[in-house]
Every structure is written in C-alpha cells, then in structure tokens.
Structure 1
Amino acid sequence: MLTITTYDWVPDMAKGYVRDLRIRWACHEAGLPYRIESTSLSGKTPQHFARQPFGQVPMLRDGDLSIFESGAILLYLGERHPALMPEGAADRVKAQQWLIAALNTLEPPAMMLAMARWIKQDPAAEGIVLPWLHDRLGQLETVLQGREFIAADRFTVADILMADILRIVDGLGEIAPYPGLKAYQDRITARPAFQQALAEQLAHFAQAA
C-alpha cells in the first residue's frame, strides 16, 4: 500500500490546501489504496530531512521507493496508472507539459500573492505580483476556451495541478474576471475523487486539532 506523508497539524488557513491533497486526489482517481503518516510542522526530524531535504510535504512511499514534490509524485503515479495519463505518446507529453506549466508558470505568482496578502500583509509586494498573476490568468483563459480539460480530451494529472492552483487563486478573490477558469475549476473539483480527498484531509486536521 502507498504511504502519503503530510503534516500532523497546520493553521486554519492552510487546511484544505496542503499539497498532500493532490496525491490523495490522484489515488482516488486511480483507485489506489493508501495510508497517511504524519510529520510535525515545526519539529522535523533528521529522518524527515533524509527523505525531503527541504523539510516539506507531501512525500510518497511505494515499497522501498520514497518520492518528494507533488509534481514528481503525480508524474510517477501517472506513468503507472492509465486513469491519470492518456495512452498516446503525444497526449502524454501534453499532460506532462501542462503539469510543469501549472507548477512553474501559474503557481509561483499565486503563492507569492498569497504570501504577500495572507502572511506578510505587504501591499508593496502585492502590487508587484498581482499584474504578473493576472497576465498568466488571462493567457490561461484563452487556452481553455473550448476545452473541457487542460491537456487532452480526458482528465489527467495536469488537471489535478491546474485546478488545485486555481483554487488558491479563487481563495485570493482573483478568479472572477475569468469565467472560463472559474468554470474549469468548478468542473474539475466537482469530481468525486477530489471531494473525497478534500474531506479526508479536512478530517485528518480536524482530528489533530
């Protein structure tokens, strides 16, 4: 059975957004059983750093193999389970491309805005990053016109990454000018696998509290 490592506790604002959600979601889409193990948010052990040199989560253990970074874990699962990746070589490359684009192009300005607005409360930093984020959102809105999914004619791991990052944008109150992105986010997160993964993560942190 797969083992997903997440935190034992997070502040309220992080509940429902910790990145182990992405891995839980993928497992539910593929029908893969998993167990959860917890690590401390503040008191990370040498064993944790041995598996994740930056002390972050999630991590995935599959037998003797330990993997960190949500994108790498999703690619690993996608290569092994047809529910998460298309069969054709061209479509697989497109899914990989859009997964990386979600992580490298959309997530950085979204997370920087979240940091400036929610944690640092830094209006100057917010003013710098907000135009950058909206440039990216406008470009993505154009791409998604006429598409149900981001990378292919079916759901892939790229949709997990893209929709989850758009949830952050929505939480920041910045998705309203982009009805296509909002419709895509709502459509992808309406999937039963996402709803189950979210409920499980929230229950995990509620039990810890």
Structure 2
Amino acid sequence: MTITITAFERSPDGGRGLARDTRVRWALEEVGQPYEVRLVSFRAMKEPAHLALHPFGQIPTYEEGDLALFETGAIILHIAQRHAGLLPDDANARARAITWMFAAVNTVEPPILELEAARLLEGDKPWHDERLPLVEDRVRNRLNQLSARLGDTDWLDGAFSAGDLMMVSVLLRLKSSGILDEYPNLAAYLVRGETRPAYKRAFAAQLAVNTGKPPTG
C-alpha cells in the first residue's frame, strides 16, 4: 500500500526543516519506505477534506490504505513499530526509546515553542523584555537536564532510535537562537542527527518543495 503524507504547499520556514512533515519524512527515510506527498495550502488545511484527516487542521497527516493518522509522535511511533530501524529489538530498550519520544514532544518542546512565540509574536508587547529572560531560563533548565543525561554519548540510549529522531527534530528549533551553543554536547548531538543520510534526504525533499528545485544527491 502506498504511504501518503501531507505537507505545506509553501512552508512558513522556507524549507529549513522545521515544518513537522520533515520528521515524518526522516522516519520513512530511516526505515527505507517510499512515500508520496500531497501538498496542501493554508486554505485547504481548514476545509472538510483535510479536517477529516486532521481535526485540528494542521500537517502532517499519514495515510496508508484505510489507515489515517495525525500527530507526528503517533505517526513516527506507527512507522517505527511497523518497520525495522527505529526501535531496538530488546523490549526494555524499545520502551526506553518510546519514552524519549514522549519526552521530546511533552517535556522539551513546549518551552522551546513558547520561546519561539515570545520572540516572533510578542516583540511589540510592553511586557516582552521582562518576560523573555524567564522563557529563556525555562528552555535552559530543560537543556541543562538533557545535557546532563546525554553526557558524552552519541545517542540518548545506545544506538540511534526514534527517540533521538524526535529529540533532534525538537532541538532543531533552537538552531538559530544561539542557546544551543551553550551546550557543546547537545550541539554535537544535533549535528550527528543532521548528518545522517536519511535526514539529509528528508531535508532535501522538504527544501525542494519550497525552492521548486528537485533534490540532488
């Protein structure tokens, strides 16, 4: 059965890999599964056909036969459980990898998204200058904890897993902030994720949508 995912017709980030379809593309590339992409406009995302797939009118969605999924964590967990390459065979290691998936989106990502909103959407608010350092401190608190746990290892729990895929995808949102530079081991961890061949293919495919140029390499 053909796998079809949805992505922005024109991504707000201009193809820098921050749109969440990149996470799903990366997972499919890691497990070697071909897929098709249906591009949707912001207008189409709010229309009944797309809302039937994603009740909150967002991307990405995942369709395979009569299965339709939304939410990147759920989609990537489904891919990882169905295809080898993203979850360990050992039951306990598998459970830990899934735990890191949840930690990425539930614990680490929320303060990062709050920081993005504070910087991009709240700059004209009278309380912005006072609030921003508090938001940055919440991000640093999570990064302190994550950095301590990662230590000098390459990945979060042994070999690369879906947990690392999700965590790297979350940390990518900090790449232009400068904050990640304060944590050399996390910065190196991010680079290891970005240099994986599967990530490079996913990034190139997402960038090609926004530049109109076919991916190379």
Coarse TM-score class (shorter-chain normalised) = over 0.9
Alignment match, 2:152: 146
Q: Distance in 2 between matches of 1:13 and 1:109?
A: 23
2:187 is the alignment partner of 1:182? yes
Q: Which has the higher mean CA deviation after the structures are superposed, 36-45 or 108-117?
A: 36-45
Structure 1 residue ranges (4+ consecutive) displaced by more than 6 angstroms after TM superposition: none
Counterpart residue number, 1:167: 172
Report the Cα distance in structure 2 between the residues aligned to 1:70 and 1:169, rounded to whole angstroms. Answer: 19
Task: Indicate the percent of aligned positions where both proteins have the same amino acid.
Answer: 38
Q: Tell me: CA distance 1:69–1:12, structure 2 relative to 1, closer, same or farther (3 Å).
A: closer
In 1: Cα distance, 2:15 partner to 2:121 partner: 11
Q: Report the CA distance shift for 1:125/1:154 in structure 2 as closer, same or farther (over 3 A).
A: same
Q: Which of the numbers 35, 56, 59 marks the counterpart of 1:57?
A: 59
1:2 is matched with which residue? 3
**Cα offset for 1:14?**
6.3
Q: State the match for 1:81 in structure 2.
A: 83
How far did 1:176 drift?
1.0
Instruction: State the aligned residue count.
Output: 207
For 1:131, the equivalent position in structure 2 comes to: 137
Partner in structure 2 of residue 34 of structure 1: 35
| Residue ranges of structure 2 left out of the alignment (5+ in a row) | none
- 1:82/1:8 CA distance change after superposition, 3 Å: same
Tell me the amino acid that sits aligned with residue 101 of structure 1.
Answer: A
Change in Cα spacing, 1:54 to 1:125, as seen in structure 2 (3 Å) is farther
Amino acid at match of 1:50: A
Deviations 1:12-40 (A, max 9, x none): 45642100000100111111000000111
What is the root-mean-square deviation of aligned Cα atoms in Å? 1.5
The TM-score normalised by the length of structure 2 is: 0.90
C-alpha deviation, 1:47, in angstroms: 1.2
Instruction: Indicate conservation of the 8 Å contact 2:147/2:183, yes or no.
Output: yes
- Kept in 1, the 8 Å contact 2:16–2:203? The answer is no
C-alpha deviations, 1:151-192, integer Å up to 9, x for none?
x32111111111111111122221011001001111121101
Aligned-partner SS, 1:3: strand
**Structure 2 Cα separation of the partners of residues 74 and 164 of structure 1:** 12
Paired with 2:143 and 2:133, the residues of 1 have a C-alpha distance of 16
Q: Is residue 102 from structure 1 mapped to residue 70 from structure 2 by the alignment?
A: no
Instruction: Give the gaps of 5 or more residues in structure 1.
Output: none
Report the AA paired with residue 89 of structure 2.
Answer: E
Counterpart AA for 1:202: L
- Per the alignment, residue 17 of structure 2 pairs with 16
Does the aligned pair in 1 maintain the 2:14–2:207 contact within 8 Å?
A: no
Among 191, 197, 202, the residue aligned to 2:202: 197
Q: 1:73 is matched by which residue type in structure 2?
A: I
C-alpha separation in 2, matches of 1:123 and 1:17: 26
Separation in 1, partners of 2:122, 2:191: 29
CA contact (8 A) 2:24 2:72 kept: yes
Tell me the equivalent position of 1:117: 119
- C-alpha deviation, 1:147, in angstroms: 1.9
